[in-house]
Amino acid sequence: MVIEVKNLFRSFGPVRAVDDVSFRLESGQICGFIGPNGAGKTTTMRVLATLDLPDRGDALFDGVSVVDYPDRVRPHIGFMPDSYGTYADLTVREYLDFFARTYKLRGKKRLDAVRQVMSFTELDTIADKDTRALSKGMRQRLSLGRTLINNPDVLILDEPAAGLDPRARIELRELLRELAADGKAVLISSHILTELGEMCDTTVIIERGTVRAAGRLDQIKEQLRVRRAEQSAPVAMATEVLDGTGADAPVAMATAAPRLTQRLTIRLIRAVDWAERLLLEQPDVTNVTVRDHVVTCEHVGGPEQLASLLARLVGAGLPVIGFAVEEEDLEDLFMALTDGGVQ
């Protein structure tokens, strides 16, 4: 299944909570939906779950509009809100059975659905326990189980890891990976960016209702690096030239090719001072620092220039045992692409 969010707008009074949001998600993918509080994540998710209507724009599930045909889309959606209530005096099994009935599952089909969900979420060992007596982690498992009871193609999960301890977060992450491997499309919002970076295939970064970046992490990193390079690159001045007839010919403005700055970590067995001196002589290296047997620096250039620098170090006889570019993680990208503004 392909989910396409197209130019969504949603306002509440003077506040535009969602401002021209567009992105794409496919079956088998986990998409991290991240942004500060009030960024428009929950509003967007509620529109996708057919619980709210946009002022403009649409979301399509295999070409079917959530605005025009919500009843056709709902059977394919499992929505897990950021908080949920339990019903008094219901056990885990009864709670899941109640929601199976709301999806009009009957007889053996309903019993099998409840049994399969309890087994997958490992709630079968506490099937007869009162829902009010569950820990936070077990409550989240139960909420996920309720979301899965109709075997939806698309999961929309709003802060499912909020308040979980480290073990419960790891277990939830493994469950979501299994669901994606089973072919489900998963849209998940979270404030735990390190875990999303490890889990997600694609990411949407949103702030003040506007998408700041969307795509795979490597695509977002490259877009950010190029943007930074373009902002700092000098622009060559246009000059007038003469053609063969002596007439002035127009010349387009020429822009210097973007040069990307990367942070390097170089590990050596010995001769660290020698390495420092050699690096300081390189025109494409700045901010050289030394600590123990590690040299860090900033390098301007692409992969070919990096390979050339490594060759120069090894060619000079330096005992290099580690040469790595420090990659920006999801937290770094989030901080670089957002400014902390609120609506």
* Averaged pLDDT for residues 285-303: 89
- Give yes or no: residues 137 and 201 share one domain: yes
Residues 100-136 have pLDDT tens digits of 999 999 999 999 999 999 999 999 999 999 998 888 8
Residue 254 lies in a domain: no
* Averaged pLDDT for residues 327-333: 69
- Give yes or no: residues 27 and 147 share one domain: yes
- Give yes or no: residues 189 and 286 share one domain: no
Residue 256 lies in a domain: no
Residue 231 lies in a domain: no
- Give yes or no: residues 195 and 123 share one domain: yes
- Give yes or no: residues 204 and 283 share one domain: no
- Give yes or no: residues 185 and 280 share one domain: no
- Give yes or no: residues 166 and 39 share one domain: yes
* Averaged pLDDT for residues 168-185: 91
28 φ/ψ sector (left φ>0, alpha ψ -120 to 50, else beta): left
CA-to-CA distance for 45 and 11, rounded, in angstroms?
Answer: 14
Task: Give the pLDDT band (50/70/90) at residue 341.
Answer: low
The angle at the Cα of 225, spanning 158 to 279, to the nearest 5 degrees, equals 130
**pLDDT exceeds cutoff 70 at 244:** no
Predicted local confidence at residue 181, as pLDDT: 95
pTM of the model: 0.74
- Give yes or no: residues 278 and 144 share one domain: no
- Give yes or no: residues 182 and 316 share one domain: no
Helix 303-315 to helix 272-280 angle (10° resolution) is 130
Least confident range from 33-47, 221-235, 280-294: namely 221-235
Predicted local confidence at residue 343, as pLDDT: 60
Residue 153 lies in a domain: yes
CATH number, position 322:
3.30.70.100
Residue 230 lies in a domain: no
Q: Is 56 helix (H, G, I), strand (E, B) or coil?
A: strand
* Averaged pLDDT for residues 182-204: 85
Residue 98 lies in a domain: yes
> What proportion of the chain, given as a percentage, has pLDDT over 70?
86
Predicted local confidence at residue 88, as pLDDT: 72
CA-to-CA distance for 33 and 315, rounded, in angstroms?
Answer: 46
Residue 191 lies in a domain: yes
- Give yes or no: residues 59 and 190 share one domain: yes
* Averaged pLDDT for residues 26-30: 95
Least confident range from 85-89, 142-146, 233-237, 277-281: namely 233-237
Residues 147-175 have pLDDT tens digits of 999 999 999 999 888 777 888 888 888 99
Predicted local confidence at residue 227, as pLDDT: 67
Number of domains in the chain: 2
- Give yes or no: residues 105 and 43 share one domain: yes
- Give yes or no: residues 175 and 46 share one domain: yes
DSSP for 160-206 reads TTTT--HHHHHHHHHHHHHHHHTT-EEEEE-S-HHHHHHH-SEEEEE
Q: What is the domain extent for residue 267?
A: 262-330
| pLDDT, greater one: 229 or 251 | 229
Instruction: Provide the H-helix boundaries in the chain.
Output: 41-48, 70-73, 92-102, 107-120, 136-148, 166-181, 193-199, 217-232, 272-280, 303-315, 330-337
Residue 38 lies in a domain: yes
CATH number, position 158:
3.40.50.300
Residue identified by tokens 């499912």 is 160
